[in-house]
């Protein structure tokens, strides 16, 4: 299947053909009266869902959830994704409390991220080849067992090396966000504008989970017992994946690997440069988080940092209402400019100014991520969407690790932590330069 079939298919009716109500048998008509011109303000196509009449306009979230089965798989996916923002915080609190070493806790979680970078693309490739339900359920079960093993090792003060092994086993956790985006891409393959809205919604859900997950984890670990966050995360992950994969009617068909589809996606034209852009975008997020935490250095750090995710979530929902995706380079220009706002806020010495700067800076995140993911979808064969999006997420996570390390070093060695806020801005500028070079290369290739 051509790489661009997914998003560049001409816009279809209000809902994909598979959801159109069967037409009544044709009746003889007189040919004298011409058809009335269609009005662009509203479509008259009908959806087959119960209680649905005229479909809402493109860019409407009502239209998105008019797709049969969308609400059910979205609910399961939301439950499965919430632990993604819980596991790291829970592990750090649990390990540091039991062993008295944040260095050990950081090393264990870093090992887990490295394992994810290696294992996640292979898991996604199996999902594409054999189907979401057949692969995601056992993968999630193995990840949940890894979390429980880590919990038991910490509880019984097992040797430190067992923590690394147990946490590495959680790397099989499926990319539920990627699987959800793949479902939307399959269901809305004839509706590019509505697919853009779906991608924006998914990015808003990501931001919501990473905003609520750490708060929930910290509350459980401190209010109940140190292992409560990890235990709750494992239960939520497995429960959410079971509910999500039970919605078989919306699952994209498995795509057995044909001779023409073999080989690494990294060999595709433009893929590696785009992953480089995702890497530098991840560095923006990783650096901003560490620098903000180092600058505030107190209980207000969490709520202030959450404002960045809140701004991103709100901007993502608004961006989804536009019904169309912009250019990644334009989004990165906005990100580079807005990422300077926290530096200006911190320079005033006011926490309120810093909070406002982070809120504004976050507004560039979701639109940039939505546009970047749409580009990944265009460059990836339809039968390997999970693998392509997981590669993008892996590059993003690698960038987060690099950004965290760089931001931490700058916060410690700079004359003031205020200057460390220039690191995210520089990383955004680097991402912009990489995307500009990628677009120029693509233009020369197509000319």
List domains and CATH numbers for the chain: 70-254 (1.20.1250.20), 267-447 (1.20.1250.20)
Which tens digit of pLDDT belongs to each residue from 322-377?
A: 656 668 888 899 999 999 999 998 889 888 999 899 999 988 888 888 888 888 87
pLDDT of residue 349: 85
In whole angstroms, give the CA distance from residue 396 to residue 354: 25
- Mean pLDDT, the chain, as a whole number? 76
Residue 236: phi, psi to the nearest 5?
-65, -40
CB 57 within 8 A of CB 64: no
pLDDT of residue 425: 92
Give the mean model confidence (pLDDT) for residues 200-207: 78
- Residue 101: HSE in the Cβ half-sphere, 13 Å Cα cutoff: 12
- 3-class DSSP assignment, residue 46: strand
User: Above 80 in pLDDT, residue 61?
Assistant: no
CB 59 within 8 A of CB 323: yes
Residues 358-392 as b/e (b if ≥16 CB within 10 A, e otherwise) read bbbbbbbbbbbbbbbbbbbbbbbbbbbbbbbbbbb
User: Above 60 in pLDDT, residue 1?
Assistant: no
Element of type H or E holding 306: helix 301-320
In whole angstroms, give the CA distance from residue 253 to residue 241: 18
pLDDT of residue 264: 60
Give the pLDDT band of residue 267 (cuts 50, 70, 90): low
* DSSP structure string for 258-324: PGGG-S-GGGSTTHHHHHHHHHHHHHHHHHHHHHHHHHH-STTHHHHHHHHHHHHHHHHHHHHTT-S
Give the pLDDT band of residue 5 (cuts 50, 70, 90): very low
Identify the CA nearest to 214 among candidates 96, 86, 329, 121.
86
DSSP state of 48: -
Distinct helix (H) and strand (E) counts, the chain: 19, 0
Instruction: Please state the separation of Cα 218 from the chain's center in Å.
Output: 22
User: Above 60 in pLDDT, residue 35?
Assistant: no
pLDDT of residue 382: 65
In whole angstroms, give the CA distance from residue 59 to residue 364: 19
Residue 200: phi, psi to the nearest 5?
-65, -40
In whole angstroms, give the CA distance from residue 7 to residue 259: 24
Give the mean model confidence (pLDDT) for residues 42-69: 54
Helix axes 228-245, 192-223, angle to 10 degrees: 150
CA distances from 147 to 83, 96, 153, 155, 197 (A): 11, 16, 10, 12, 34
For 392, the token pair is 């993008």
Which tens digit of pLDDT belongs to each residue from 97-137?
A: 888 776 777 778 777 777 887 888 788 888 878 888 888 89
The fraction of the chain above a pLDDT of 90, given in percent, is: 9
DSSP state of 52: -
User: Above 70 in pLDDT, residue 20?
Assistant: no
| Reduced DSSP (H G I as helix, E B as strand, rest coil) percent helix, strand, coil of the chain, to 5 | 75, 0, 25
Identify the CA nearest to 355 among candidates 420, 309, 391.
309
CB 227 within 8 A of CB 157: no
CB 368 within 8 A of CB 331: yes
Give the mean model confidence (pLDDT) for residues 252-264: 62
pLDDT of residue 59: 55
CA distances from 3 to 7, 271, 280, 379 (A): 9, 12, 25, 6
For 191, the token pair is 């509706």
In whole angstroms, give the CA distance from residue 72 to residue 70: 6
Give the mean model confidence (pLDDT) for residues 91-101: 80
Count other Cβ atoms within 10 Å, centred on residue 314.
16
pLDDT of residue 365: 85
Instruction: Please state the separation of Cα 309 from the chain's center in Å.
Output: 13
Identify the CA nearest to 92 among candidates 104, 76, 79, 77.
104
Which tens digit of pLDDT belongs to each residue from 146-156?
A: 889 998 988 88
Tell whether the torsion through CA atoms of 103, 108, 114 and 117 is positive or negative.
negative
């Amino acid at each position: 299947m051509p790489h661009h079939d997914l998003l560049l298919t001409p816009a279809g009716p209000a809902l994909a053909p598979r959801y159109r109500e069967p037409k009544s048998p044709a009746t003889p008509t007189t040919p004298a009266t011409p058809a009335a011109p269609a009005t662009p303000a509203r479509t008259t196509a009908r959806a087959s869902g119960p209680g649905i009449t005229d479909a809402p306009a493109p860019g409407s979230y009502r239209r998105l959830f008019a797709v049969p089965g969308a609400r059910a798989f979205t609910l399961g996916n939301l439950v499965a994704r919430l632990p993604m923002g819980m596991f790291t915080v829970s592990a750090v609190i649990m390990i540091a409390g039991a062993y008295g070493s944040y260095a050990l806790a950081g090393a264990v979680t870093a090992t887990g991220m490295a394992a994810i970078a290696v294992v996640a693309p292979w898991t996604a490739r199996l999902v594409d080849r054999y189907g979401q339900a057949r692969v995601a359920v056992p993968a999630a079960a193995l990840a949940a067992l890894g979390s429980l093993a880590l919990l038991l090792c910490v509880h019984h003060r097992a040797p430190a090396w067992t923590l690394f092994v147990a946490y590495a086993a959680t790397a099989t956790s499926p990319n539920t966000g990627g699987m959800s985006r793949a479902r939307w891409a399959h269901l809305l393959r004839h509706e590019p504008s509505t697919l853009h809205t779906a991608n924006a919604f998914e990015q808003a859900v990501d931001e919501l989970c990473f905003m609520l997950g750490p708060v929930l984890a910290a509350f459980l670990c401190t209010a109940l017992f140190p292992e409560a966050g990890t235990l709750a995360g494992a239960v939520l992950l497995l429960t959410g994946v079971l509910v999500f994969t039970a919605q078989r009617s919306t699952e994209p068909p498995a795509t057995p690997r044909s001779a023409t589809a073999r080989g690494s996606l990294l060999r595709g034209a433009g893929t590696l440069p785009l992953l480089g852009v995702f890497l530098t975008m991840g560095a923006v997020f990783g650096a901003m988080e560490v620098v903000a935490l180092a600058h505030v250095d107190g209980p207000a750090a969490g709520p202030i940092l959450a404002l960045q995710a809140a701004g991103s979530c709100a901007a993502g929902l608004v961006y989804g209402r536009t019904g169309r995706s912009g250019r990644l380079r334009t989004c990165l220009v906005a990100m580079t400019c807005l990422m300077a706002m926290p530096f200006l806020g911190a320079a005033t010495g006011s926490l309120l100014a810093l909070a406002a700067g982070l809120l504004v800076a976050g507004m560039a995140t979701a639109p940039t991520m939505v546009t970047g993911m749409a580009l990944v979808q265009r460059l990836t064969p339809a039968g390997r969407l999970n693998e392509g999006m997981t590669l993008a997420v892996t590059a993003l996570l690698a960038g987060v690790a690099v950004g965290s390390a760089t931001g931490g070093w700058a916060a410690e060695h700079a004359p003031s932590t205020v200057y460390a806020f220039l690191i995210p801005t520089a990383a955004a500028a680097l991402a912009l330069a990489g995307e500009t070079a990628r677009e120029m290369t693509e233009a020369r290739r197509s000319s």
